[in-house]
Structure 1
Amino acid sequence: MDTPLPIVGLIPAAGLATRLQPLPFSKELYPIGFGSEGEIIGHPKVAAAYLVEQMAAGGAEQLYFILRSGKWDIPAYFGDGSSYSLNIAYMLMGLPFGAPYSADQAYTFVKDKLVLFGFPDILLAEPGAFAHLVAKQAETEADVVLGVFEVDNPDKWDVVELHSDGSIANVYPKPHQSKSIYAWAFACWSPSFTAFMHAYLQQIQESISTSGKELSIGAVLQAAIKNGLRVQGVQFSKDSCLDIGTPEDLRKAIIKYT
């Protein structure tokens, strides 16, 4: 990728997958479809492999998985990342207050880099998805670029207010009602957003810890917008993202990718 900053991938994998339990392994390793070489069908392909491959194609040379204690099957499966032609490191979740705090666990290692961020239980079907975000960030110098797509059920996603010039005015995490039909599912952000998130999470840590609720990345994005950071969006097709976090959606993914 044509960017002056090193590119790294950041994958929060500390969730409990309560909607899919009981499972005999981490949901990130659920087999969905098969790898292939030309017309030859290869080995079963696990859910998180789709994201790892997309980040590698987007220019990432280093990936960080943020894990919950006990999810040792993930590093056992992906190893050092050499089979994906990149380096993979693993960190343990610190504060159990949601994906932003998991992502911030890697702050020291990613603070001066361009970050590719995605959820390992959301499958990206768009070829070169992250490459498009990196190109948009280089073009606009936005603090954050989001991959957005049309959804039928906005209450299950972080909805965005997308303008015709690609700018995003607001992010609404899983709203009860929404006029927007667009949501985001993956991102590319610069050191300016990494720094903002790090400071913001420290600022609200006490209130979050007493609330008993988890914070979403969408809520941090909205706070960043309100504090003057610039967020852009790249629009993808309606069927470009598929969340496998529920049994119904997992079944759809198995059918689609098998």
Structure 2
Amino acid sequence: MKQRQVIGLLPAGGQAARISPLPVSKELYPIGFRRVDDNSLRPKVVCHYLLEKMRLAGITKAYTVLRPGKWDIPAYFGDGSMLNMNMGYLIISLPFGAAYTLDQAYPFVQDAVVAMGFPDILFHPDDAFVRLLARLEASNADVVLGLFPTEEPQKAGMVDFDAAGRVYKVIEKPPQSQLRYMWGIAVWTPVFTQFMHEHLAGILALSSLAPQRELPIGDVIQAGIDNGLRVEAEAFPEGTYLDIGTPPDLVRAVRLFAAEEI
């Protein structure tokens, strides 16, 4: 596995309906500031934080999967030189949720280790992907999930795991839960990439090309567990995770990050 390339994968197919209208794609909403070469400040967009954390883990190549119309994302990041990365852009063909969005990258990532994060999320610690990739390399896991504490299970994919980090259950957005941790980022091997590709194809074949609901990625991970894939967890007890996709959380993010680089 050491010889496999690690590729970042960012699903950006959403319409940001809960915070619309926006002047830009939500992944480009300015949150805080960054310093440039002359030490002056520039706005820092949401997606920049995720890409920085991937770059810190040594990831130099990433694909963002877009829905048609979100052309401002490639216009902003271009070839990725802003982050010293090589960036490419793919277009979704099936509007059935993030799992299908990610699967659009299958021909480009099927032989690589994938590091996946949502580009409208802010999280800590900064070395989260470093730690996930280290666990993946040191174990025989097919997937390693990055876990963050939450008190809002209805908004998250909650994870049941043991003291050794073995994941047994992923439950998407339960109304209530005694579980403490949600998953927010992930890394996986080609084994899971192939499983997801075949699993989604099977769902489409059984549903006349129109799934009855959007399929969360957590449901695909649970299907992998049910089919014998090994999923492990790297928990960040002091970690934070903030989705900017609702007005209250967007306000909170702007306030928290406004003075970070000043």
TM-score (norm 2): 0.94
Q: Per-residue CA shift, 1:11-47, capped at 9, x if unaligned? A: 0001000000011110000000001369945210000
Partner of 1:240: 240
Classify the secondary structure of the residue corresponding to 2:64. strand
Q: Per-residue CA shift, 1:149-171, capped at 9, x if unaligned? A: 11011110000002111111000
For 2:38 and 2:200, how far apart are their aligned partners in 1?
A: 48
Q: Which runs of no fewer than 5 residues in structure 2 stay unpaired?
A: none
Partner amino acid, structure 2, of 1:117: M
CA contact (8 A) 2:36 2:42 kept: no
Partner of 2:116: 117
Describe how 1:184-203 pairs up with structure 2 within 5 A. Answer: 184-203=183-202
Partner of 2:159: 160
Farther-moved stretch of structure 1 (9-18 vs 172-181): 172-181
For the pair 1:224 / 2:244, whether they are aligned, the reply is: no
Partner amino acid, structure 2, of 1:4: Q
Partner of 1:180: 179
For 2:191 and 2:208, how far apart are their aligned partners in 1?
A: 23
Partner of 1:30: 29
Classify the secondary structure of the residue corresponding to 1:200. helix
TM-score (norm 1): 0.95
Identity, in percent, stands at 47
CA contact (8 A) 1:97 1:209 kept: no
Partner of 1:103: 102
* Superposed displacement of residue 179, structure 1: 1.7
* 4+ runs deviating over 6 angstroms: none
Change (3 A) 1:161 1:39: farther
* Superposed displacement of residue 177, structure 1: 2.0
Classify the secondary structure of the residue corresponding to 2:185. strand
Change (3 A) 1:148 1:37: same
Partner amino acid, structure 1, of 2:83: Y
Partner amino acid, structure 1, of 2:105: A
CA contact (8 A) 1:172 1:219 kept: yes
CA contact (8 A) 1:5 1:114 kept: yes
Classify the secondary structure of the residue corresponding to 1:165. coil
Partner of 1:130: 129
Q: Per-residue CA shift, 1:131-159, capped at 9, x if unaligned? A: 10000001112100000011011110000
Farther-moved stretch of structure 1 (121-130 vs 206-215): 206-215
For the pair 1:47 / 2:46, whether they are aligned, the reply is: yes
Change (3 A) 1:210 1:59: same
Q: Per-residue CA shift, 1:218-243, capped at 9, x if unaligned? A: 00000000000001111113542111
For 1:67 and 1:235, how far apart are their aligned partners in 2?
A: 29
